[in-house]
Amino acid sequence: MDPVDLYSMDDYLQEQEILYDLGDHIVAKMQAVADVIQGGRSGCGFRRYVDRPREQASKQLMDDYFSPNPVYNETQFRRRFRMRRPLFLKIVEALSGWSDYFTVRLDALNRPGFSPVHKCTVAIRQLAYGGSADQLDE
């Protein structure tokens, strides 16, 4: 049998056209999705970046509870942290010695991360109040 009877040049061209069409279609769709993402969010990709004023929050925390002249007194500290201040600072210090995580580390832009006191405060708040971690996102 002649193979041309089964699969001619015309058939081949037709199939190629369908494939090209499909390719164009896919490209167009992807472009549309990419445009939506570009318009809706800053930056590229799906990760959202929130610029949190870490330094300011840390300073506020220190002023409120840990400075020599704090805004809230001993009673309020014990009520909110469930323990007295020297014990809390002792724990923070011990944890700093235990792991790198509880030390001040710099990120790629040389900007300091959260301070150990801040991290421990967040952890104690979650234990003491039983709230969700999202409540502390301020």
Residues near other proteins (CB under 8 A) are 50, 52, 57, 82-84, 86-87, 91, 94-95, 97-99, 101-102, 114, 118-120, 122-124, 126-130, 132-134, 136-137
Nearer to other proteins, 72 or 129 (CB): 129
Question: How far, in Å, CA of 24 to CA of 12, rounded?
Answer: 19
Question: How far, in Å, CA of 107 to CA of 116, rounded?
Answer: 15
Q: Is the sign of the CA dihedral 19, 21, 25, 28 positive or negative? A: positive
Nearer to other proteins, 70 or 95 (CB): 95
The nearest distance, CB 138 to other proteins, in angstroms, is 8
User: CB count, 10 Å around CB of 81?
Assistant: 19
The nearest distance, CB 39 to other proteins, in angstroms, is 24
The nearest distance, CB 106 to other proteins, in angstroms, is 16
- As a residue count, the chain comes to 138
